[in-house]
């Protein structure tokens, strides 16, 4: 297993609408999962694993574990950006303040869409993930930078 360190990629930008909010006045927990899920599709596509390709090649990606840390409230009118990378960690921050509002840790598995059995990630996709994000980590280290958290 390769450790992948990289700069996050912007995978979602959005706004918190009043209908996202619950009786407490902040975004309800059910909307966090949906927004993180939308970001996941963009992250997979950035590695060459689009929905079209999965359908054509008979594979699927499924979430097998997800944990969300709620760091601060999001309110109607807040602008959000989700930054993702292949390291099982995604963050969402408030666009206006830069504060992290939530973090999710997700583990995914590649499946054969027909048999629903786990299968290896497509070699070119795995290679693209490892090469692209390992190069970014190397570039950061050579500049003496270490990214701990996206803001």
pLDDT of residue 39: 92
Distance CA 22, CA 30 (A): 10
CA 112 to CA 72: how far, in whole Å? 38
Check residue 11 and give its pLDDT: 92
49-87 per-residue burial string, b: 16 or more CB within 10 A, e: under 16: beeeebeeeebbbeeeebebeeeeebeeebebbbbbbbe
Return the pLDDT at 137. 54
Tokens standing for residue 112 = 């054969």
In the chain, domain spans: 9-134
* pLDDT at site 28: 92
Report whether 118 contacts 110 (CB < 8 A): yes
Measured over the CA atoms of residue 25, residue 30, residue 36 and residue 37, the dihedral's sign is: negative
33 membership: H or E segment, kind and range: helix 29-46
Per-residue pLDDT of 60-94, as tens digits, reads 887 777 888 888 889 999 999 998 887 643 345 55
What pLDDT was estimated at residue 138? 53
| DSSP run (H or E) holding 91 | strand 89-94
pLDDT at 61: 84
Q: What would the pLDDT profile of 87-137 be if each residue is shown by its tens digit?
A: 643 345 555 677 777 777 767 778 888 887 888 888 888 888 877 766 655
pLDDT score at 4: 53
CATH homologous superfamily of 9-134: Hotdog Thioesterase (3.10.129.10)
């Amino acid at each position: 297993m390769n450790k992948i360190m990289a700069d996050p990629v912007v995978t979602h930008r959005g706004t918190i609408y009043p209908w996202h909010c619950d009786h407490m006045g902040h975004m309800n927990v059910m909307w966090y999962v949906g927004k993180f899920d939308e970001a996941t599709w963009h992250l997979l596509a950035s590695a060459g694993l689009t929905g079209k390709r999965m359908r054509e090649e008979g594979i699927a990606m499924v979430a097998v574990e997800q944990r969300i840390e709620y760091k601060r409230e999001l309110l109607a009118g807040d602008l959000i950006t989700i930054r993702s990378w292949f390291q099982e960690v995604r963050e969402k921050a408030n666009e206006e303040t830069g504060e992290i509002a939530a973090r999710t840790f997700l583990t995914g598995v590649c499946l054969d869409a027909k048999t629903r059995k786990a299968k290896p990630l497509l070699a070119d996709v795995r290679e693209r993930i490892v090469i692209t994000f390992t190069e970014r980590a190397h570039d950061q280290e050579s500049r003496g930078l270490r990214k701990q958290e996206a803001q």
